[in-house]
Amino acid sequence: GIASHVEEENIPGTWVYLSSKDGDLRSIEQCAAIFEKHKPTHVIHCAALVGGLFINKRHNVEFLTENIQLNHNLLQCCKDFNVTKLVSLSSTCVFPEKLEFPTSEEFMHEGPPHPTNGGYAYSKRLLDVCSRLYNDEYGTNFITLIPTNLFGPYDNFNLDDGHVIPGLIHRCYLAKQKGEPFGYLGVRQTSSSVLCTQKILGASY
């Protein structure tokens, strides 16, 4: 993950790595307590309620409301604690369902996202909108990056609720354990870009 990349590249600074075990960002009190404890000067915001296609379809409301809540709390704390720079990771699902590729972030709001993950997509769109509004009103330095589909260590390898690549890795592992051939269904005309999480850090600081 990020920690191993920082060590391998000998990136300077004091790095603090947090997970949901360190606090619930949906609570403004817990979010503020984290900032009070660590007093960060720079923040890379990767936190989100995430999941694969099927869990998104089942819980679009929760993916919208809970992500809006945690994003708002984090932006508010970054402002209140005078964070020098906030880099938030967005998602390619923010783009409209009907869109020609290659594309760029200026087309983000040119139509509705795919309905299967609309809740998550709209929460990420609003994260970018709120970041720009904070910059305009308070002079903050909040930016959002839209990486391609990511995978890596500590991913969600659940066969029902995870994303495509960790799901394929899990299926490949099970096939190897059972001594069975590994295959998957798809169409050759469809392509998708993926990136290992360690590779995104260089663009984030």
Q: Which of 95, 129, 124 is nearest to 112 (CA)?
A: 95
122: annotated active-site residue: no
DSSP assignments along 88-101, one per residue: EE--GGGS-SS--S
| CA 84 – CA 124 distance, rounded (Å) | 22
Q: Of residues 120, 134, 173, 205, which has the active-site annotation?
A: 120
| CA 45 – CA 77 distance, rounded (Å) | 12
What six digits make up the tokens of 134? 């904070």
| CA 173 – CA 188 distance, rounded (Å) | 24
Residues tagged active-site: 120
